[in-house]
Every structure is written in C-alpha cells, then in structure tokens.
Amino acid sequence: MKIGELNYIHSKSVEEEVIGAKRGGLLNSQLSPLTLEIMQNALLGKVTLVFSQGPLHLTPVLCVLLQVNNERDILVGIPRNIFKKRMKEYKDIYYSLRSRSIGFFYKKYLLCEADVNKSGEIKISLEGIKTKPKWGLRHYKDGYEELFIKGLFQGGCEDWPKIIGVPIDYNLPENLLKTRNFFYEKDSLLLSPFNPKFVILESVNERIYSFEIISKIIENLNNNGIGGIIHFSWPYLPGLNEFLKDLEDKTDKVSIIHIGKRYGIEMRESFNKYLIETDPLNNRSYKMNDFIRSRHSFRTLSLEGSDWNRYYPEPIKFSELKNIEVFMVGTLGPHEHELADIKAQHDLMISDIRYEINQDELPTKFRSLIAFPPFIDSFLKPSEITISIANKEGEYKSLPIKEALIEKFDKKRSGLSNYLDLCTQFDKSFDVVNHMRGLHTPNFMSKNSILYYLILQEIISERLSTNEKSDIIICDYVSQLGAKKKIQNNIISMLEYLKKNKSPDDIYLRESQFFTPINMRKKSLEPRQNIVKAQIEDIFYTLNKSKQKMEIKANLIIGERKISKSITILLTDIHTLNRNLPEDYTESILLLPGPIPILSFKKDNPAITRGFDILLRPFRKIIFLTYSGDNFNKLCQQCDIIDSLVGENSSNEIAQKDYAISATYMPEDLFVKIKGKSCVDFNLEIPKSELTDENPLDTAIRRELMDNMAQQPEKHEFNHLVDIWKSVKSIKEKKTDSTENLISDYSIELTKLTVLYLNRGVEEMISLNSNGFIRKISDDGTIYILAKELQPGDEFIYWKATDKQSLDNYFINSYSEFADWSLEEILGVYRCIADFIEAIQSIDRDSIYNHQLETLYWLTEEQKFCIFNLIKYLLSNTDVNTIEDINEITEKWKKVLGTDECIWNDLANLPEDEISNIKYDFESGRSYISYSKLLPIVKHFGWNLADTTFNALLSSICSKSININEQKKPVKYFFREYVNLYALGKLIGNQNIIDRYEEINEAGFEIWKILELVGHSIYRVREGKDNPFNEMDQMIKERMSICKVISNG
C-alpha cells in the first residue's frame, strides 16, 4: 500500500489510527486480514469477488485509498432497498477519515449520490456531499462550507475525482457514464465527465441478479482495464459452483474471497492471534472480545465488523444454539425416548400409501404428490393446496388436491383411498377461530392449527417474544399462487374476531392443547411455560401493497401495565425466501412448518428443495413445528448434519466439503504475511452440484439425508424419492423452456420456422414454443405476439439459448421477484379476455349454438351454453310499453341469470330500472356486443376506471398483438387498484383470475418493469449505444439476433 497512514475520528475526543507504519515487520493496522487482502487487490487493479456473511462495510476506506493512490472516478452500486441507509453510514465515515499528510479527504474528492427515478432517468445530486464538515470548530465548518459552494460554481471542483453512489434495482442506469451534469439544490453545474476506473457492486444477491450476467460484467471490467469489487452478502448462493468453476481459468485476473461457515471456524484462532499480536494495547490478559470492544474503527471499517464472532465462531452444535426452538404439535402421550421412534397415525397411513403405489405407473407429478403429501410440512390444509389437471378436452383447471385426484383417478386405484382419508383428517383439524367463536371444531391438532394459535398468543401474551415489537416470517414449503393469501385471510378472520371480543376469558387457550417445547440437545420435553395473558383494549391491522406483509398493532393491559404491541408478519415460501431475504431478517422470528423437505412443491409440481443454508442465517429465532415420529426424526437428522458442519469435529464429510468450498479459492498466503488457509489437513474436493442452479451446501446436505434414508429398514420412501429425483434431474438436464410441463401432464406444441439471421445472412430452421410470446419488430418498436402467429416476412427478436427460453422469460427469471412466473402467465390472462370478447361477439340474436365458445377452456360446457343463451337474450328485441312488460323483463332476467351455471349470476337481483337500462343498451344499435355494452356489467363487478380506459384496454388486447413500444408509452397490463382485474375476471367467469387477481396483478406490475427495461436495452443495442457496465445490455448484445421468417414448417 502506498498510503502511509490513515486515521478515523469516531467522536470529538477519539481518533484511532486505522493504518500506520509497520511494527516489527508487520503492517500496523486495525483492520481484519481479509479486509486488507481485498484492499491490496483493489490497489493492484484486480477484480475481486467477495462472498461474505453480511454487508461490505469497507467501501469508504477503500475509496479513500484508491483516490489517494490513483485519483480515479469510482462507481458504487448498492441495492435500492438499502441504498439510503448505506449511503448515510458511508458519508458519516468518509467525512471522518483523514491523514496527517493530506488532511480530510473531502477536500480533494467529491462523494455524490445518483437519484434514479422509476422511468430510469438519472440525476446526480451534490446535496449528499455534506458541504459542512462533520468535525472541527464552528468557524472552520462555516468557512469551509462557504468556500466549497463558491468553488463548485466557479470551477474549483471541476476536475476533482468523484465517488458516485447509485441505487440499483436490476442493473446500472443507462445514462450514467460520461455524464457532466451535476446538481446542487436546484442549480445545474458542469463537472468533468464521470469515467469510472473502479467499480464496487455491493450486496448483489440482495437485488435481482444472475451469475451468467455477473460473468459478463467481470469480462467487461477486465477487457476495459477497470478494477472492481463484486460483493455478495452470503456465501451460499444458487448456481455458485458452476459460476466459480467457469472462472477457474481467469484466476490471474479475478481474486475470490469466500467465507463459509467451516472456513470461519477453522481460521478463528489464526486471525484472532494476528489481530491481538499487532495491537499496541496487547497484554497477557488481552482477548479478542477486548480488541473488538476497544477498536471502534475495526467494528466500523472491517469487512466482518462487529459480527466478527459470528464469522469466526467457536464450534457449537446447531441444536444447542439459543435461537433454535422446536415445538411438538399436539398433546403428547409418548415418553421422552419415544419422540422420534414412535409412529404417528399419519406415519402408518403414509407408509401404507407408499407401499400400495410402489408398483403403480403414475405420472411423476402425481406420484410425488401422493408419496410425499405436501400438507405434512405445511401451514396449509389439503383443501388449500391446488393442482392443475386436464379435462376431457385437454384444457386445464386448478382444483384442491382431494377434488383433483377424485376427478383424475378411480377411487379404487392403489393407495388413493388411504390418501383421500389422510386429506380428510388434515382438513378437519382444530380451528382456533371457530373454537373462539364457540363453534364445534375437531380435536386433531395440525401445524395449521398451531400457526394461528402462535400468532394469537403473540398478540395477547409474551409467548414468542417479550419485545413490544415483533417481526415474524411465516415461511411455507409449498410455493403456489394464492397460498399466502389463504393464510393471510385466516389471520384476518382471527383479528376481526379479536376486535369484537376483547375479553381474555373468551380467547385464552391452554398451551398444552397445542404443542410442547422440545429440548433438542436432550431430544426431550421442556417444562411448559406460564403464559402471561393480556386484556385487549384495541387492535387493528394494515396490509401492504403486495399483500404479503401485514402490520398488527394492539394496545394491551398486562397486570397493571399498559403496553402497545406491534407485530409485523411477512408471508413467504422457501423458494422466495432464499431469493429475497428481508434486510432486517436478523431481528425476525422465522416460523417453519417442519424439517426442510428434500422434495417440495413449486406451483403444483415437485421441486428439489434448495436453501438448507437458511438454517445458518442469524435470525433472532428459528422455530420449527413438528409432529412426533417420522417428522421429528427427520428434523433430528437435519440438526445432526448441521451439527457436523459447525461442531467440534472437522473430520466429517459435511465439514470437509463446506471448508473446501472456501479454501479452494482463498489465497495460500495473505497480504499480512499469515496463511489464508487452515493448517489442518482437509480434503479440498468441492461437492459437485447435481443441479447447475443450486448451491454446493444444498448438494452436500441432501446427499447426507439421502444416505441416512437409504439405511432405514423401510425402503419405499427412499425408492420413491430416488425415482422422482431422477425424473426431475433428467428434465433439468434437458433445459427445456417448461420444466413444469414435462414433469406434469402438460404438452408443448412447437412451431417450426425457416428464418434468415439478418445480422449474419444465414438461413436456419428453428423451433419455438407455439404458445410462447415473442417480440415482433414493428415500425414503432416491438409488439408481443404468439410464436404460432408469425408469418413469412415478419421480423422478430430471437434469443439464442439452449433451453428454448424466450428473451423476456430469461430476464424475468433472472431479475424479477416473480422469477417463478412467465410472460405467458401474465399475458395469458388478457388472452383469455380477448378470447371471451371474440367469442361473445360471434353471437347474434339469431345464432344457433354450435360450439362458438370452445376457446373458453376455463368454463364448463354448461357455463358456455348458459352464456350463449344469455347473450342471445340480451340482444333480443323486447317491447316495453307497460309496467307488466317491465316485470316480464325482470322475471326473464332473473330466470336467465339466476342459475348456478351463469357466470353473471351475481347480477340476477339488480333493481328493475338497472335491469331495464342494461337490456335497452344491449338491444340498441347493431345486433353485436360492443365494448361499451359491457361497461354496465363490468362496473357492477367493481370496475372503477374511466369508460375510455376500458375501451382502450379491450381494443388493445383484442388486437392479439400486445404493444410494448420502447419509445412511447404502451398500455400496461396491470392496475393500480387490483379490483379492476377482479372485475375482468368476473366478467369472463375465469375462477383462476377471480381467486388470484391480487397476485396476478402484482406479478404483472413487477414483471412489466422488467419488460420495459428489456425494451430499452434492446433499443440501445440495436442502435449501437449499449452501456459496457449495464448487465442487461451486454447479455442482449451477445445473444440477441434479428430473424426474418422465410417460411412456416
């Protein structure tokens, strides 16, 4: 390092030396060994990948070192959700760093913030640079501020190197580079163009990202001679193995710092020794905790910071951690030693089911569902979990598990009768709300029962937390549309009851009815705790926009105390939680419905569960709910495996593999002259991921669990799992655009085209998913049409990919919080509306029913026939001369609309005048259903936007080509008020939209932002104006082609 020394002021009277002159041949520094390693790599101009267990922390001090040594512009990209908080911390630190030779660094370098609005426009603000220094006497601060502002407008700061912090949603803003326009208050001023020679991307995994795209960024940085740090705040990430493997031939240009759990345990003694020995305050009794406590600069500026003991802990068993709790569901009969060994009634039923279906050739989807009932480890009842099945016409609909299986198979099929009985048992479990209302409810306790009891007790007592503020994350292992809403509705039902019935005698329930705490160290029962009851004075709740989070506030009286309690509940699933962990999760209680299953359900298809590393996260508390018997046994096995990872013994396979993940890439010798790897002899063989998009720790843990399962005397569970695993794995290896379609009973129709690649002049035959949306090039930009609708002469955007995935779906999967969704699922809703409008417009008052509505697959034949007759009736002429005529119209209206088969039966009992007006509107003009004739109907279902908006929407979607013009404002296919999508669902009688309109709309809102970004990126690439630091631009530049259709087939 070329800098001689660096000091940090953290209070008026305390200034600490962060980096000083060498002592005894060692660098005198109060920073951690890995912090100094990263800084040295940065000064050498390398690109460094950092996989830590928390925030980067070291950005301000690193920027100072880079500026002093090279005087270069620096770009700092931070996820938007933490940008303001992080930049505030960094500004406080930056204005507290100085050296004796230079003084405060803010006198020579500008620290700025970029404000990027939702439309992508960028404004670089100098307000955040703290024109008034943080430290010094008043006359110095005032004088400096006056001179600095004067210098800004007179060109005194024009050529100062700049550090610009940028909030990132998905990728870097398009117009940041070379910009000269800066703003102070409302005034614009010109500074030298921003030309970064070092890039810091922080906490990349806390925004939407893709390793494939990160690889392109690394390549661009190296090609342009730009150094950088790409930081991830967690060391176990999906796809990490493949990503690091691809970088193996670039290790001369890329350094990797990976701090896994076992690495931290093994390096603890060495790193502690280094820090204590280099500290001038060191004496015989000096311990690491003394060092951490006395060194504010170390806690603030080092990578590991105040979390040092979490990074480098003493070995301890996972099951003995204070934040791990296990609650056994139901009243317990067995003795302590029988908790894992005894078979619960449902264990015996599941064992029989697996045996009975062993010889049955079931599709993978249904075999998974029956052999591994998803409701065992779920907060959902069987009736709340749906699956899609095909009807006789090959069209699909979603039904609860039990109804779907009855419709799909013969009840006498092997194992099915027992499975249906099992569904009935779990559906008829104890209902807390019904019990409070005095209604009969069964005695059987399920995890569904316990969930609502725990929330109830958190409101009226101090069961989970003695804090007055609680953050609870309810994480289910079933991931499908509508699941979170069902849990939320049940919570709301309970809260509504509590608002009306506040007496504790009405709502108090004995804990022993529900669960018993388990001591995991002894595998035994814990003494039951006394619950402190409260009188509720008032209670209310709010829902956030996405409907996935709710805030509950209650004013309570406990004894003679009055307290106000605030509870935040986040509803999520294991797949979403691994991808999008809340920033403040360390303050949260995580509720899990049992051991993490090897096989879980995503939508309604089996999926290999990822995210065992979630158990290593430092939540305030992790609570498992478990049944006695097999369920508890599986939880014990998982705990034993994690015990092996973080416990005393490092010779076991799981500890060896985890250490290998880090040590393989860490430097042999660190910059501070100590070893970067343990002296203990480890087998440095990284576990090969069986799926390219999972993290290696998941692979290692799952193998251990499978090995344990293979040794059990009962082999049916293992055999079923192996077969299902082979099926899922083979489908993943095929890399098809629709894993669900292959694993279930859906079929994919392909459209074959002969195309000309316009950029290469080459003809080729390609295949596209017929029902997939592609971007067709038009005069105004691009429009979405189905692949099967392409015609000779059409030009479209083709995405080169081995998995047949479309360009838009690739970026939805890579960037969106709704990564499990596809473009077809969003736009398919509007295709349904278009098909409905087209179908009813084909009916006139003289039509004869001849399957005109066959495209409306979501309606039954009876519903189709009913809507046909309804349209004919509405269009038919009626003479209205007397009161009797009006009465006759009303009676006929009620007769036609009042049947269960009529999708508009909610309108059967409208007032006479409204019925007459609607009937008159339909009769007027041509015998044809215009958009305006449907307005009174859709308004009764809740539509509250302007008439012109309704007409414009229908006109757009019925054109069958969906406009997403990059340069103009297109029609958006989502609504600020969700009720409008609900109204459209009611209009066309689509139960899927009616039940799930909130999630569909939310997904549409989030995904549309991605589509607009993609559109802008396509435009830049086609115009030759791509941004070298924009991840999306570089991927599109590499893999996008413009094709012209020569012929079909």
pLDDT, residue 739, reads 32
The residues near 858 (Cβ < 8 Å, ≥ 6 apart) are 395, 397, 832, 988, 989, 990, 991, 992
DSSP β-ladder status, 122-125 and 47-51: unpaired
pLDDT, residue 467, reads 60
Asked whether residue 708 carries a pLDDT value surpassing 60, the answer given is yes
Asked whether residue 134 carries a pLDDT value surpassing 90, the answer given is no
Amino acid type, 9: I
Integer Cα distance of 252 and 45 in angstroms: 12
Whether the CA torsion 993, 973, 207, 240 is positive or negative: it is positive
CA distances from 435 to 432, 489, 511, 987 (A): 5, 17, 14, 37
Q: How confident is the model at residue 829 (pLDDT cuts 50, 70, 90)?
A: confident
Integer Cα distance of 559 and 564 in angstroms: 14
Averaged pLDDT, 819-826:
76
What does the pLDDT look like over 627-675, one tens digit per residue?
Answer: 988 999 899 899 999 999 998 888 888 898 899 889 988 999 999 889 9
Among 400-404, 712-716, 903-907, the least confident range: 712-716
- The length of the chain, given as a count of residues: 1049
Asked whether residue 964 carries a pLDDT value surpassing 80, the answer given is no
Give residue limits of the domains in the chain.
76-196, 318-648+711-734, 750-821+1025-1048, 823-1022
What does the pLDDT look like over 7-55, one tens digit per residue?
Answer: 898 877 688 888 876 654 446 788 999 999 999 999 999 999 999 999 9
Q: How confident is the model at residue 916 (pLDDT cuts 50, 70, 90)?
A: confident
8-state DSSP, 906: G
Averaged pLDDT, 960-970:
55
- The partner residues of 538 in beta bridges, in order of sequence, read 555
Provide the phi-psi class of 25: left if phi over 0, else alpha when psi is between -120 and 50, else beta: left
Amino acid type, 216: K
8-state DSSP, 669: B
Asked whether residue 135 carries a pLDDT value surpassing 80, the answer given is no
What does the pLDDT look like over 482-519, one tens digit per residue?
Answer: 788 889 889 998 888 888 876 544 454 555 556 777 76
pLDDT, residue 902, reads 92
DSSP β-ladder status, 196-201 and 73-79: parallel
Residue 317 tokens, joined: 């068993």
Provide the phi-psi class of 241: left if phi over 0, else alpha when psi is between -120 and 50, else beta: alpha
Torsion angles phi and psi, residue 510, rounded to 5: -75, 130
Averaged pLDDT, 930-957:
89
Q: How confident is the model at residue 698 (pLDDT cuts 50, 70, 90)?
A: confident
